[in-house]
Structure formats: structure tokens, C-alpha cells
Amino acid sequence: MGCNTSTSSSIPTEIRRPIIEKKSTCLVYAMPDSGQKKFILSINKCFEVLSGKNHIPFEFAEVSTNREDRWMWIDEINNHKKVIMAFFFVNITSESQILVSVKTLNWLKAQIDGKIPLYPVAYYRNQEELANFTKMKDLLGQNAEISTFSDENPSDIRVYSEHITSCLVRPMVPNPRIQFTS
């Protein structure tokens, strides 16, 4: 008898989708076979224990180590929107590898030129490589910032995990598509 005599009280329900944020990215540059895979595995395992596998707030982007691809390394910064830092793994297995690593590190630093934080890391497996690390530091100079990493040393894993966390909470300045010159 009147208007709106329908007994159905169907109110459209709003479909709520979870907000999915893009994870921050840590770029990993490296000389071939210089410990970057063990580093990534160790740090990811640490964060999985702390926050669960699906809740790690960042991802590693491992950049190709092929010599022919190095000219494209800088493009990787533009290929990821939320790059918070980059690691560069040097090779300290022999004196010749140290020299190539120093040359490549200096080139990469010049290309990045402070646009993102770059942290050189030397992965060591034994005391001989640790001695080679000292030789590399001498080549780089007193003020060079480079650190060591061993997946067998839990304090190393903790230190790098804390460092990544500090970079995650650091306020980021919006940086739409940083452009670099080759």
C-alpha cells in the first residue's frame, strides 16, 4: 500500500581490499661470487624470524654480476621506486680480485654520487680473506667506509639487520625517477 513497501533491506556493502604498499628495496651490487647470496639469505632469515615470511618490509634486488651488464647498474635505481640503500660486495679472495673490486667500487660511487646510501661489504670465509680485507682497506684509504660480513657470525647478521631497519624508518624524500648520466 504505499511507496517503498519492499521488505528487502539490502544495503550495498563496500568491498574492502587490503592496502598493499610497495616494499622498500635494498639493491645488491656485487663482484661475481662475493658472498651476496649468503648475505641475502642470512638477512632474510633474520627478518622472517622477527616478522614472519610474508611481512618483511623490504626486498633485496640482486643486480646482475656479469661484467657486460655493469653499465646498466645505475638504471636499477630507476627501476625500483623505493630504494632505501645499496650494498656493494667486493671480492677479497685474491690480490687481483681486490684491485678489480676497488676499481669497480670507485666507479660505482662516482655514478651514484650520493643519491642513495652505498655500503661496501667484504664477505670473508677464512683468516686469509680477512687479511686481504686489510689490504683492501689500505688501498681505499683511511677514511674509506667498508665493513665485513660472515654468515657464521650472528653479530654480523644482527648489525646489518639493525642497519637496514634504521634505513627503513628514516624519512624518505620523494624522489621521482632519479636520472643519472652515464
Give yes or no for residue 54 having a pLDDT over 90. Answer: no
How many helices and strands, by DSSP H and E, does the chain display? 5, 5
List, for residues 173-182, the tens digit of each pLDDT value: 444 433 333 3
Instruction: Report residue 8's pLDDT band, with 50, 70 and 90 as the boundaries.
Output: low
Question: Over pLDDT 70: what percentage of the chain?
Answer: 82
92 with 132: CB under 8 angstroms?
yes
Average pLDDT of span 64-75: 91
Residue 116 is classified by DSSP as: S
CATH topology for 24-169? Rossmann fold (3.40.50)
**Largest pairwise CA distance in the chain:** 96
**For the chain, domain boundaries:** 24-169
List, for residues 9-49, the tens digit of each pLDDT value: 555 555 554 444 578 999 999 999 999 999 999 999 988 88
